[in-house]
Amino acid sequence: MHLTGRSVFLMWLGACAAVAQGTPGFQHVVVIFQENRTPDNLFQGLCAAPFGSAGSCSTNPNSSQYNIQTRNWLDKNSSTGVTQPGTVALTNKYDLSHAHSAFVAQCDQDTVTGACRMDGAAGVKCSGTCPAKPQFRYVENSAGTVTPYLQLATQYGWANYMFQTNQGPSFPAHQFIFGGTSAPSAADDANGIYASENMSGTSKTAGCTAPAGTTVQLIDPTGENKKVYPCFEHNTMPDLLNGSITWRYYAPSAGSIWTAPNAIQHICQSTGAGGQCVGSDWKNNVDLKPADVLTDIAHCDLRSVSWVIPTGANSDHANSNDGGGPSWVSAIVNAIGNSSACDNNTGYWQNTAIVITWDDWGGWYDHERPTFLAQPEGDYQLGFRVPLLFVSAYTPTGYINNARHDFGSILRFIEHNFGIPEGALNFADARAKNDLRGFYDLSQAPRPFQTIAAPKSAAFFIHDKRKATDPDDDGKDQ
């Protein structure tokens, strides 16, 4: 544990209040993190049969429809000011920059209003076999590639306004989803100083075991003008969980930018630069085989809070996945939904919330403007919109939520669920305006689970003999 006396006191007060009020909660929260997509890019299928129609989607902020734009994507480089989107396979063979510089280009901030014009996507760099206007593409679903995602969206909860907290790539995004900040310390967070990019230098290894000389770019209210070794020290969500509230972080490798606990010194307890994490929290709670989440569910060993990171093949990251992402996510949902022997033979379905979101926008077009926070955080928060699905037995079919969320909202939900005061970390959880309570009603009778159809089952992932790779090979800045 790594808590101040004030944090312990707040935890105690929150737990007492929850018990006194008899507030029910989920016994398990599973956060599934996928890679690099926007709603406009990945979920066009909500606007077409069999999951919807053109009338199912609207950009009217007050509608109860899916906020997906299907045409007239803003493009200041076009003679008409708009571009009609084309299609792209989920397994496409090019990648788009999602560095902070790509955010700046795509946002195209209005110097008068301060808002993003959202017409600069053409300025995002592309690598690989790039077609014309590669940023202005959406994943077509004629072969049913993303059907599992569309089933989850229409059967459970969908967020119209979910934004990544950071304006950049995966390393800071995963720090925010795990600990509410990418700042090296609590004092840095208060001063608006954040890790803003992936690693720089010759190594792709991140965190407190990165080789000497590895650095990460920082951003502060004056700009990106400093680099530091990527080993930080501040509280994270696990520091707020007491002994009966357990956690596990599943990731493909120890030193990657996607393995958030490796950058927190009191969790990692590194043997030194280029060494290993040897801390007890690391050894007991970090699992370096993502498919173990499926065996843990089968063996009734699901922790109270789980973060699940995919392998490269099962990531939705452009130019590196093999299309397995929708099946991978569905396998986890199905394992929980069909569980019957765990938790005193009640199974996991009736007491588990599953939150599925994507770590950054990946350079793809999205029409929705982010809301910038006040200074000093506003120079790096919030980022572009990403999808979010909420799956539980208490979520209405086809529910659409119009509250504005970011990664801090997920942390607030975890805090509320386990009787911890919302905002107790005093990072993104404190700055978020909403938690995720609108997605469920625990006073309602639980819905029976219906299996999500997918090409690959849990057995495929459990027995997959391929060498696990990181979600992408872009450990360094793009």
Kindly tell me if the per-residue pLDDT of 367 is higher than 80: yes
CB 315 within 8 A of CB 251: no
Kindly tell me if the per-residue pLDDT of 475 is higher than 80: no
Q: What pLDDT score was predicted for residue 62?
A: 77
46-103 pLDDT, tens digit each: 999 999 998 999 998 878 899 999 999 999 999 999 999 999 999 999 999 999 999 9
Kindly tell me if the per-residue pLDDT of 308 is higher than 70: yes
Kindly calculate the radius of gyration of the chain based on its CA atoms and give it in whole angstroms: 21
Q: For the beta carbon of residue 5, count every other beta carbon within 10 angstroms.
A: 7
Q: What confidence tier does 8 reach under pLDDT thresholds 50, 70, 90? A: very low
CATH class held by domain 5-68+142-462: alpha beta
Q: What confidence tier does 471 reach under pLDDT thresholds 50, 70, 90? A: confident
Q: What confidence tier does 10 reach under pLDDT thresholds 50, 70, 90? A: very low
Which residues face 401 on adjacent strands? 159
How many helices and strands in the chain, by DSSP H and E? 15, 17
Q: What pLDDT score was predicted for residue 224?
A: 84
- Give the helix ranges, DSSP H, for 403-447: 407-417, 428-431
Kindly tell me if the per-residue pLDDT of 411 is higher than 70: yes
Q: Chain-wide mean pLDDT for the chain?
A: 92
Q: What pLDDT score was predicted for residue 12?
A: 39
Q: What confidence tier does 24 reach under pLDDT thresholds 50, 70, 90? A: low
Q: What pLDDT score was predicted for residue 13?
A: 43
pTM to 2 decimal places? 0.93
Q: What pLDDT score was predicted for residue 3?
A: 47
Q: What confidence tier does 19 reach under pLDDT thresholds 50, 70, 90? A: very low
Q: What pLDDT score was predicted for residue 23?
A: 47
Q: What pLDDT score was predicted for residue 274?
A: 93
Q: What confidence tier does 470 reach under pLDDT thresholds 50, 70, 90? A: confident
Higher-confidence position of 203 and 431: 431
Contacts of 312 (CB under 8 A, 6+ apart): 252, 320, 321, 468, 469, 470, 471, 472, 473
Kindly tell me if the per-residue pLDDT of 428 is higher than 90: yes
Which percentage of the chain shows pLDDT scores above 70? 93
CB 195 within 8 A of CB 175: yes
Overall average pLDDT of the 184-194 stretch: 97
Kindly tell me if the per-residue pLDDT of 141 is higher than 70: yes
Q: What pLDDT score was predicted for residue 7?
A: 45
Query: Which amino acid, 187?
Result: A
Overall average pLDDT of the 250-272 stretch: 97
To the nearest 10 degrees (0 to 180), the angle between helices 170-179 and 407-417 is 20
